[in-house]
Protein backbone atom coordinates (compact mmCIF):
# COMPACT_ATOMS: atom_id res chain seq x y z
CA UNK A 1 0.00 0.00 0.00
CA UNK A 2 1.45 3.38 -0.96
CA UNK A 3 1.58 6.21 1.55
CA UNK A 4 -0.69 8.34 -0.57
CA UNK A 5 -3.54 5.81 -0.76
CA UNK A 6 -6.82 6.93 0.78
CA UNK A 7 -7.78 5.01 3.91
CA UNK A 8 -11.35 4.42 4.95
CA UNK A 9 -12.32 4.78 8.59
CA UNK A 10 -12.39 1.05 9.21
CA UNK A 11 -9.04 0.54 7.49
CA UNK A 12 -7.52 3.36 9.53
CA UNK A 13 -8.86 1.99 12.80
CA UNK A 14 -7.60 -1.46 11.93
CA UNK A 15 -4.12 -0.05 11.40
CA UNK A 16 -4.40 1.89 14.67
CA UNK A 17 -5.53 -1.29 16.40
CA UNK A 18 -2.56 -3.19 15.06
CA UNK A 19 -0.31 -0.41 16.34
CA UNK A 20 -1.97 -0.75 19.75
CA UNK A 21 -1.10 -4.42 19.83
CA UNK A 22 2.51 -3.84 18.83
CA UNK A 23 3.09 -0.91 21.18
CA UNK A 24 1.05 -1.92 24.20
CA UNK A 25 0.70 -5.69 24.21
CA UNK A 26 3.81 -6.90 22.39
CA UNK A 27 6.93 -8.32 23.88
CA UNK A 28 8.90 -5.20 23.10
CA UNK A 29 11.11 -6.95 20.56
CA UNK A 30 9.41 -6.27 17.25
CA UNK A 31 10.67 -7.74 13.94
CA UNK A 32 11.53 -5.23 11.25
CA UNK A 33 9.92 -7.61 8.74
CA UNK A 34 7.52 -10.51 9.14
CA UNK A 35 9.50 -13.77 9.09
CA UNK A 36 8.48 -16.65 6.90
CA UNK A 37 7.28 -19.79 8.64
CA UNK A 38 10.46 -21.73 9.49
CA UNK A 39 10.94 -25.41 8.85
CA UNK A 40 10.87 -27.82 11.78
CA UNK A 41 14.64 -27.81 12.27
CA UNK A 42 15.40 -24.27 11.14
CA UNK A 43 17.31 -21.90 13.43
CA UNK A 44 18.04 -18.34 12.40
CA UNK A 45 18.64 -14.82 13.64
CA UNK A 46 16.47 -11.82 12.87
CA UNK A 47 17.44 -8.19 13.30
CA UNK A 48 14.88 -6.28 15.35
CA UNK A 49 14.81 -3.71 18.16
CA UNK A 50 13.59 -3.51 21.73
CA UNK A 51 10.73 -1.24 22.77
CA UNK A 52 10.81 -1.83 26.51
CA UNK A 53 12.23 1.67 27.01
CA UNK A 54 13.06 4.75 24.95
CA UNK A 55 16.53 3.48 24.04
CA UNK A 56 15.17 1.09 21.37
CA UNK A 57 18.33 -0.99 21.40
CA UNK A 58 19.11 -3.10 18.36
CA UNK A 59 18.47 -6.81 18.92
CA UNK A 60 19.38 -10.10 17.31
CA UNK A 61 16.56 -12.57 17.95
CA UNK A 62 17.31 -16.27 17.62
CA UNK A 63 14.31 -18.22 16.34
CA UNK A 64 14.19 -22.00 16.57
CA UNK A 65 11.25 -24.02 15.31
CA UNK A 66 9.17 -20.89 15.03
CA UNK A 67 9.83 -19.76 18.61
CA UNK A 68 12.07 -16.94 19.88
CA UNK A 69 14.57 -18.61 22.20
CA UNK A 70 17.17 -15.90 22.76
CA UNK A 71 17.59 -12.13 22.48
CA UNK A 72 21.02 -10.49 22.23
CA UNK A 73 22.25 -6.97 21.68
CA UNK A 74 23.07 -6.22 18.06
CA UNK A 75 26.85 -5.64 17.84
CA UNK A 76 26.47 -2.97 15.13
CA UNK A 77 23.75 -0.96 16.84
CA UNK A 78 25.13 2.29 18.36
CA UNK A 79 23.06 2.00 21.54
CA UNK A 80 23.09 -1.74 22.18
CA UNK A 81 26.76 -2.31 21.23
CA UNK A 82 26.25 -6.04 21.45
CA UNK A 83 24.61 -5.97 24.87
CA UNK A 84 21.14 -5.73 26.36
CA UNK A 85 20.00 -4.85 29.84
CA UNK A 86 18.24 -7.53 31.94
CA UNK A 87 14.88 -6.22 30.79
CA UNK A 88 15.78 -6.70 27.13
CA UNK A 89 17.41 -10.08 27.69
CA UNK A 90 14.30 -11.27 29.50
CA UNK A 91 11.78 -10.06 26.92
CA UNK A 92 11.05 -13.62 25.77
CA UNK A 93 9.32 -14.11 29.12
CA UNK A 94 6.97 -11.27 28.25
CA UNK A 95 6.39 -12.59 24.74
CA UNK A 96 5.32 -16.02 25.98
CA UNK A 97 3.71 -15.00 29.26
CA UNK A 98 0.53 -17.07 29.66
CA UNK A 99 -1.33 -13.98 30.90
CA UNK A 100 -0.38 -11.83 27.91
CA UNK A 101 -3.43 -10.35 26.19
CA UNK A 102 -3.57 -11.37 22.56
CA UNK A 103 -7.10 -10.36 21.59
CA UNK A 104 -9.33 -7.35 22.38
CA UNK A 105 -11.58 -7.53 25.43
CA UNK A 106 -15.01 -5.88 25.70
CA UNK A 107 -16.45 -5.20 29.14
CA UNK A 108 -19.78 -6.79 30.00
CA UNK A 109 -21.79 -5.33 32.83
CA UNK A 110 -21.21 -2.12 34.81
CA UNK A 111 -17.85 -0.47 35.40
CA UNK A 112 -15.96 -2.17 38.19
CA UNK A 113 -17.58 -5.54 37.62
CA UNK A 114 -14.39 -6.79 35.92
CA UNK A 115 -16.34 -8.97 33.49
CA UNK A 116 -14.83 -9.05 30.02
CA UNK A 117 -15.22 -11.22 26.97
CA UNK A 118 -12.85 -11.79 24.10
CA UNK A 119 -13.76 -10.14 20.81
CA UNK A 120 -12.43 -10.20 17.29
CA UNK A 121 -10.52 -7.20 15.99
CA UNK A 122 -13.35 -6.57 13.54
CA UNK A 123 -15.93 -6.35 16.34
CA UNK A 124 -13.69 -4.32 18.65
CA UNK A 125 -12.76 -1.74 16.02
CA UNK A 126 -16.37 -1.38 14.90
CA UNK A 127 -17.37 -0.86 18.54
CA UNK A 128 -14.73 1.85 19.06
CA UNK A 129 -15.66 3.59 15.81
CA UNK A 130 -19.34 3.57 16.79
CA UNK A 131 -18.60 5.11 20.19
CA UNK A 132 -16.37 7.76 18.62
CA UNK A 133 -19.14 8.70 16.19
CA UNK A 134 -21.64 8.99 19.04
CA UNK A 135 -19.31 11.20 21.09
CA UNK A 136 -18.64 13.44 18.11
CA UNK A 137 -22.34 13.72 17.25
CA UNK A 138 -23.64 14.48 20.74
CA UNK A 139 -20.70 16.27 22.39
CA UNK A 140 -18.31 17.34 19.66
CA UNK A 141 -14.87 15.85 18.93
CA UNK A 142 -13.29 17.96 21.68
CA UNK A 143 -15.05 15.74 24.23
CA UNK A 144 -12.53 13.00 23.47
CA UNK A 145 -9.02 13.35 24.89
CA UNK A 146 -5.81 11.37 24.59
CA UNK A 147 -3.30 10.77 27.37
CA UNK A 148 -0.30 9.38 25.55
CA UNK A 149 3.23 8.22 26.23
CA UNK A 150 6.16 6.97 24.27
CA UNK A 151 7.03 6.25 20.69
CA UNK A 152 3.66 4.84 19.64
CA UNK A 153 1.75 7.85 20.94
CA UNK A 154 2.31 9.82 17.74
CA UNK A 155 0.05 7.46 15.81
CA UNK A 156 -2.81 7.94 18.24
CA UNK A 157 -2.20 11.70 18.25
CA UNK A 158 -2.67 11.64 14.49
CA UNK A 159 -5.97 9.82 14.97
CA UNK A 160 -7.24 12.40 17.48
CA UNK A 161 -6.23 15.33 15.27
CA UNK A 162 -7.95 13.76 12.28
CA UNK A 163 -10.99 13.22 14.49
CA UNK A 164 -11.00 16.93 15.32
CA UNK A 165 -9.88 16.98 18.95
CA UNK A 166 -7.02 19.21 20.18
CA UNK A 167 -6.98 17.53 23.60
CA UNK A 168 -3.76 15.56 23.42
CA UNK A 169 -1.44 15.43 26.41
CA UNK A 170 1.49 13.41 27.73
CA UNK A 171 1.36 13.79 31.54
CA UNK A 172 4.21 11.30 31.87
CA UNK A 173 6.53 13.81 30.20
CA UNK A 174 5.92 16.40 32.92
CA UNK A 175 6.34 13.70 35.56
CA UNK A 176 9.65 12.48 34.14
CA UNK A 177 12.06 14.66 32.15
CA UNK A 178 9.91 17.65 31.21
CA UNK A 179 11.37 20.05 33.84
CA UNK A 180 14.88 19.08 32.75
CA UNK A 181 14.14 19.86 29.11
CA UNK A 182 12.75 23.28 30.02
CA UNK A 183 15.79 24.06 32.20
CA UNK A 184 18.24 23.20 29.44
CA UNK A 185 16.20 24.98 26.77
CA UNK A 186 16.29 28.15 28.87
CA UNK A 187 20.08 27.84 29.12
CA UNK A 188 21.28 26.36 25.83
CA UNK A 189 18.27 26.86 23.58
CA UNK A 190 17.71 23.11 23.28
CA UNK A 191 16.98 20.15 25.50
CA UNK A 192 19.11 17.05 25.94
CA UNK A 193 16.63 14.67 24.34
CA UNK A 194 16.19 10.95 24.84
CA UNK A 195 18.61 9.22 24.83
CA UNK A 196 20.57 12.10 26.32
CA UNK A 197 23.49 13.55 24.34
CA UNK A 198 26.00 12.85 27.12
CA UNK A 199 29.56 11.67 26.48
CA UNK A 200 29.92 9.66 29.68
CA UNK A 201 32.61 7.31 28.39
CA UNK A 202 35.10 10.12 27.74
CA UNK A 203 34.41 12.32 30.73
CA UNK A 204 37.12 13.01 33.29
CA UNK A 205 34.60 13.86 36.00
CA UNK A 206 31.01 12.66 36.27
CA UNK A 207 28.61 14.24 38.76
CA UNK A 208 25.33 12.40 39.39
CA UNK A 209 22.66 14.39 41.21
CA UNK A 210 19.99 11.88 42.21
CA UNK A 211 20.74 9.79 39.13
CA UNK A 212 21.06 6.04 39.64
CA UNK A 213 23.24 4.74 36.83
CA UNK A 214 23.79 1.06 37.38
CA UNK A 215 20.30 0.57 38.81
CA UNK A 216 18.10 1.91 36.03
CA UNK A 217 17.97 0.10 32.72
CA UNK A 218 19.32 2.64 30.24
CA UNK A 219 21.71 0.32 28.50
CA UNK A 220 24.20 2.63 26.79
CA UNK A 221 24.67 4.92 29.77
CA UNK A 222 25.42 1.98 32.06
CA UNK A 223 27.99 0.69 29.57
CA UNK A 224 29.56 4.14 29.31
CA UNK A 225 29.52 4.54 33.09
CA UNK A 226 31.59 1.36 33.38
CA UNK A 227 33.94 2.65 30.68
CA UNK A 228 34.37 6.00 32.45
CA UNK A 229 35.29 4.19 35.67
CA UNK A 230 37.77 2.02 33.77
CA UNK A 231 39.39 5.15 32.34
CA UNK A 232 39.77 6.65 35.81
CA UNK A 233 37.05 9.31 35.76
CA UNK A 234 36.35 11.09 39.03
CA UNK A 235 32.83 10.15 40.20
CA UNK A 236 30.65 12.33 42.43
CA UNK A 237 27.27 11.07 43.62
CA UNK A 238 24.74 13.35 45.33
CA UNK A 239 22.00 11.18 46.81
CA UNK A 240 20.36 10.70 50.23
CA UNK A 241 20.52 6.96 49.57
CA UNK A 242 23.76 5.01 49.18
CA UNK A 243 23.15 3.76 45.64
CA UNK A 244 25.12 1.42 43.40
CA UNK A 245 26.69 4.46 41.75
CA UNK A 246 27.63 5.81 45.18
CA UNK A 247 29.62 2.65 45.84
CA UNK A 248 31.84 3.61 42.87
CA UNK A 249 32.22 7.27 43.82
CA UNK A 250 35.27 9.25 44.88
CA UNK A 251 32.90 11.65 46.62
CA UNK A 252 29.58 10.47 48.00
CA UNK A 253 27.50 13.41 49.25
CA UNK A 254 24.51 12.22 51.35
CA UNK A 255 22.50 15.38 50.86
CA UNK A 256 19.45 16.33 52.89
CA UNK A 257 16.42 15.63 50.66
CA UNK A 258 15.07 18.66 48.83
CA UNK A 259 18.19 20.84 49.16
CA UNK A 260 19.96 20.05 45.87
CA UNK A 261 19.51 23.55 44.50
CA UNK A 262 21.49 25.09 47.36
CA UNK A 263 24.41 22.75 46.62
CA UNK A 264 24.35 23.62 42.92
CA UNK A 265 24.31 27.35 43.65
CA UNK A 266 27.28 26.96 45.98
CA UNK A 267 29.23 25.15 43.26
CA UNK A 268 28.40 27.98 40.85
CA UNK A 269 29.59 30.45 43.49
CA UNK A 270 32.97 28.74 43.91
CA UNK A 271 33.59 28.40 40.17
CA UNK A 272 32.92 32.09 39.63
CA UNK A 273 34.51 33.59 42.74
CA UNK A 274 37.69 31.52 42.42
CA UNK A 275 37.74 32.02 38.62
CA UNK A 276 37.72 28.30 37.93
CA UNK A 277 35.18 28.52 35.11
CA UNK A 278 36.06 28.37 31.40
CA UNK A 279 36.51 32.09 30.80
CA UNK A 280 37.07 31.89 27.04
CA UNK A 281 34.03 29.67 26.54
CA UNK A 282 31.77 31.89 28.65
CA UNK A 283 32.96 35.09 26.96
CA UNK A 284 32.40 33.59 23.51
CA UNK A 285 29.05 31.91 24.08
CA UNK A 286 27.64 33.21 27.36
CA UNK A 287 25.03 35.83 28.12
CA UNK A 288 24.13 37.19 31.54
CA UNK A 289 27.33 36.19 33.33
CA UNK A 290 27.55 39.42 35.33
CA UNK A 291 24.01 38.95 36.62
CA UNK A 292 24.78 35.34 37.54
CA UNK A 293 27.91 36.42 39.40
CA UNK A 294 25.96 39.04 41.33
CA UNK A 295 23.01 36.83 42.25
CA UNK A 296 25.21 33.95 43.51
CA UNK A 297 27.70 36.14 45.38
CA UNK A 298 26.23 35.18 48.76
CA UNK A 299 25.66 31.49 47.97
CA UNK A 300 28.79 30.33 49.73
CA UNK A 301 29.63 26.72 50.64
CA UNK A 302 29.18 27.72 54.28
CA UNK A 303 25.65 28.92 53.51
CA UNK A 304 24.86 25.73 51.58
CA UNK A 305 26.31 23.52 54.32
CA UNK A 306 23.68 24.70 56.80
CA UNK A 307 20.96 23.69 54.32
CA UNK A 308 22.32 20.53 52.70
CA UNK A 309 24.18 19.07 55.71
CA UNK A 310 27.22 18.57 53.46
CA UNK A 311 30.43 20.06 54.93
CA UNK A 312 31.51 23.34 53.34
CA UNK A 313 35.03 22.03 52.74
CA UNK A 314 33.60 19.09 50.77
CA UNK A 315 31.44 21.39 48.64
CA UNK A 316 34.45 23.57 47.89
CA UNK A 317 36.76 20.60 47.17
CA UNK A 318 34.36 19.12 44.62
CA UNK A 319 33.92 22.48 42.86
CA UNK A 320 37.69 22.94 42.65
CA UNK A 321 38.06 19.48 41.14
CA UNK A 322 35.47 20.45 38.53
CA UNK A 323 37.59 23.45 37.68
CA UNK A 324 40.71 21.29 37.31
CA UNK A 325 39.02 18.70 35.07
CA UNK A 326 37.07 21.08 32.79
CA UNK A 327 35.87 20.99 30.07
CA UNK A 328 35.56 17.17 30.17
CA UNK A 329 33.23 17.42 33.17
CA UNK A 330 29.66 16.18 33.00
CA UNK A 331 27.07 17.31 35.53
CA UNK A 332 24.57 14.71 34.41
CA UNK A 333 21.11 16.11 33.59
CA UNK A 334 19.41 13.06 35.08
CA UNK A 335 16.08 11.50 34.28
CA UNK A 336 12.85 11.15 36.28
CA UNK A 337 13.67 14.60 37.67
CA UNK A 338 10.24 15.63 38.98
CA UNK A 339 10.89 15.63 42.73
CA UNK A 340 10.17 18.63 44.91
CA UNK A 341 8.54 21.41 42.88
CA UNK A 342 11.75 23.34 42.12
CA UNK A 343 12.68 20.86 39.40
CA UNK A 344 12.98 23.24 36.45
CA UNK A 345 15.21 25.64 38.39
CA UNK A 346 17.33 22.76 39.68
CA UNK A 347 17.79 21.52 36.12
CA UNK A 348 18.58 25.05 35.01
CA UNK A 349 21.30 25.28 37.66
CA UNK A 350 22.76 21.99 36.39
CA UNK A 351 22.75 23.41 32.85
CA UNK A 352 24.45 26.62 34.03
CA UNK A 353 27.15 24.60 35.79
CA UNK A 354 27.85 22.72 32.58
CA UNK A 355 27.99 26.03 30.70
CA UNK A 356 30.48 27.51 33.18
CA UNK A 357 32.68 24.43 32.74
CA UNK A 358 32.51 24.68 28.95
CA UNK A 359 31.23 21.13 28.60
CA UNK A 360 28.41 21.77 26.13
CA UNK A 361 29.59 20.58 22.73
CA UNK A 362 32.88 19.26 24.12
CA UNK A 363 34.31 15.70 24.44
CA UNK A 364 33.55 14.30 27.86
CA UNK A 365 30.59 16.63 28.25
CA UNK A 366 27.63 16.95 25.90
CA UNK A 367 28.03 16.07 22.25
CA UNK A 368 26.02 17.85 19.58
CA UNK A 369 24.14 15.16 17.64
CA UNK A 370 23.60 15.25 13.90
CA UNK A 371 19.94 14.88 13.09
CA UNK A 372 18.44 12.86 10.25
CA UNK A 373 15.36 14.20 8.52
CA UNK A 374 12.80 11.51 7.70
CA UNK A 375 9.86 12.75 5.61
CA UNK A 376 6.42 12.09 7.03
CA UNK A 377 3.71 10.48 4.92
CA UNK A 378 1.31 12.79 3.16
CA UNK A 379 -1.98 13.11 5.02
CA UNK A 380 -5.03 15.32 4.49
CA UNK A 381 -5.18 18.57 6.41
CA UNK A 382 -6.58 18.16 9.91
CA UNK A 383 -9.98 19.75 10.61
CA UNK A 384 -9.77 22.96 12.61
CA UNK A 385 -11.04 22.35 16.18
CA UNK A 386 -14.14 24.33 17.06
CA UNK A 387 -12.78 24.97 20.56
CA UNK A 388 -9.26 25.38 21.97
CA UNK A 389 -7.56 22.62 23.92
CA UNK A 390 -8.85 22.12 27.44
CA UNK A 391 -5.50 23.10 28.94
CA UNK A 392 -5.32 26.28 26.85
CA UNK A 393 -2.21 25.16 24.97
CA UNK A 394 -3.72 24.47 21.57
CA UNK A 395 -2.25 21.95 19.16
The pLDDT tens digits of the residues spanning 148-193 come to 887 788 889 999 999 999 999 888 888 888 899 999 999 999 999 8
What fold is seen in the domain 179-356? Dimethylsulfoxide Reductase; domain 2 (3.40.228)
Beta bridge partners of residue 46, listed in sequence order: 61
Reported as a pLDDT band with limits 50, 70 and 90, residue 22 is very low
pLDDT value at position 388? 86
Report, as an integer, the average pLDDT of 205-212: 95
| pLDDT recorded at residue 11 | 43
- 329 membership: H or E segment, kind and range: strand 329-331
Tell which residue, 223, 230, 206, 214, has the closest CA to residue 331: 206
User: pLDDT at position 214, please?
Assistant: 81
From the list 256, 257, 298, 281, the residue with the least C-alpha distance to 353 is 281
**Residue 17's pLDDT band (cuts 50, 70, 90):** very low
359's CB contacts (< 8 A; 6+ apart) are 326, 327, 328, 329, 330, 331, 365, 366
pLDDT band at 41 (very low <50, low <70, confident <90, very high): low
Which H, E and C letters describe 30-98, residue by residue?
EECCCCCCCCCCCEEEEEEEECCCCCCCEEEEEEECCEEEEEEECCCCCCCCCCCCHHHHCHHHHHCCC
Residue 147 DSSP symbol: E
Query: Which one of 9-18, 74-83, 250-259 scores highest in mean pLDDT?
Result: 250-259
Categorize the per-residue pLDDT at 243 as very low, low, confident or very high, splitting at 50, 70 and 90. very high
- Residue 384: how many other CB atoms lie within 10 Å: 8
Query: Band of the pLDDT at 393, cuts 50, 70, 90?
Result: low
Q: Where are the domains positioned within the chain?
A: 27-95, 179-356
Q: Which pLDDT score, from 0 to 100, does residue 75 have?
A: 96
pLDDT at 33 over 50: no
Q: What are the tens digits of pLDDT across the range 62-103?
A: 999 999 999 999 999 999 999 999 999 999 999 999 999 999
Question: Would you state the pLDDT for residue 217?
Answer: 65
Is the model's pLDDT at 2 over the cut of 50?
no
pTM: 0.82
Q: Is the pLDDT of residue 374 over 90?
A: no
Confidence of residue 372 (pLDDT cuts 50, 70, 90): confident
Q: Give the mean model confidence (pLDDT) for residues 337-344.
A: 92
Helix (H) or strand (E) holding 116: strand 116-118
- pLDDT greater than 50 at residue 194: yes
Q: What pLDDT shows up at residue 39?
A: 54
Average confidence (pLDDT) over 241-265: 97
Select from 346, 326, 322 the least CA-distant residue to 334. Answer: 346
Q: What is the mean pLDDT of residues 31-48?
A: 65
For the residues 349-362, what does the mean pLDDT come to?
A: 97
- The residue that leads in pLDDT, 265 or 22, is 265
Q: Is the peptide bond before 327 cis (omega within 30 degrees of 0)?
A: yes
What topology is assigned to 27-95 in CATH?
A: N-terminal domain of TfIIb (2.20.25)
**Residue 140 pLDDT class (50, 70, 90 cuts):** very high
Percentage of the residues of the chain whose pLDDT score is greater than 90: 71
Which of 140-144, 267-271, 334-338 has the least mean pLDDT? 334-338
| pLDDT reported for residue 127 | 97
Quick: pLDDT tens for 212-241.
888 876 899 999 999 999 999 999 999 999
203 in Cβ contact with 358 (< 8 Å): no
Question: Per-residue confidence at 37, pLDDT binned at 50, 70, 90?
Answer: low
201 has pLDDT over 50: yes
Amino acid sequence: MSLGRHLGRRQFLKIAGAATTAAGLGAGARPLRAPEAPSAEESRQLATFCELCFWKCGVLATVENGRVVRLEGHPEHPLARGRLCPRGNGATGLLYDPDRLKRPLIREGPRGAERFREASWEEALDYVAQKMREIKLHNGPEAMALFTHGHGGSFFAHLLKAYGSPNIAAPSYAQCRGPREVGFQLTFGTGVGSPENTDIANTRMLVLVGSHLGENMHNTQVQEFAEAIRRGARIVVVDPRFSTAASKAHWYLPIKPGTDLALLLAWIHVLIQEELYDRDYVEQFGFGFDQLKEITASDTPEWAATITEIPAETIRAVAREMGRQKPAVLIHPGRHVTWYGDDTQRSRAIAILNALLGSWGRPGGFYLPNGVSVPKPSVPEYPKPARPAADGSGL
